[in-house]
Amino acid sequence: YIDIGGKAPGYMPKKECGLGVITNFKERFPIGTQMEVLVIKEQNADGMVTVSARALILRKSWDKVSKISENGQLVDVLANGFNRGGLTCDVEGLRGFIPRSQLEDGANYQSLVNKTLKVAFLEVNPESKKLVLSEKKATLLQKFEKLKIGQLIEGKVLAVKPYGFFIDLGGASGLLHQSSVTKGNIRDLREVFEEGEFVKALVTEIDKEKGRIGLDTALLENSPGELLIEKEKVMIEASERAQKAQALFEGKD
């Protein structure tokens, strides 16, 4: 029973006293112990509410994990089990799941049990209690660390889509959206770049949470549509042109 300053004390069931198994209540909770709890059920007929230390710990854990995910930070986790779909692990007291498809070695995933993996967050959903992690995304984000907003990069066109180009940046891919290709008018994206062609572009977005890199070639133009007419010249002079454009990105890292 917990004195919460009301007419009746709060009642904390055994399973709500914390994470894990508590074997000796008297040692763990001597009378007079101060603790934070969360009200999980409203007053019953006797005016008593049900409280939980466990629920509060888990709420704080979800808040902490959400912030880590938003910041694109990586975490080290110990794989403590497996099922047909992948590995299970513990993250801040929460049960996390790493799908086989998100492991660097998904074929031999059972051998990774009891090993520490560096992972990133794919899905953090406190409502559905879904915490999905990815080793592949962590590898990708580590490559992001080498990139800066305004940096000039060179990569090969992986794919041409109706909305832009995917550029291979050495293990990570960046999106050169059609709106960022040129300030001129494009009839067909394939008239600009083709699959397999090497392209120089400026990094304009690094979204660690979504694992996304945004690119821009329009900023390398001296006049609207120049890339469509003198693409080779724009690419050859890309380094000098990039220096002029980089002033736009100061303070945006």
57-109: pLDDT as tens digits: 999 999 999 999 988 889 999 999 999 999 999 999 899 999 999 999 888 89
Q: What is the pLDDT of residues 230-247, one digit of tens each?
A: 999 999 999 999 988 887
- Rounded to whole angstroms, the maximal C-alpha distance in the chain is 83
Share of the chain above pLDDT 90, in %: 67
- Long-range pairs for 182-186: beta carbons < 8 A, 24 or more residues apart: 182/217, 182/218, 182/221, 182/224, 182/225, 182/226, 182/227, 182/228, 183/218, 183/221, 183/223, 183/224, 183/225, 184/221, 184/224, 184/225, 184/226, 184/227, 184/228, 185/225, 186/228
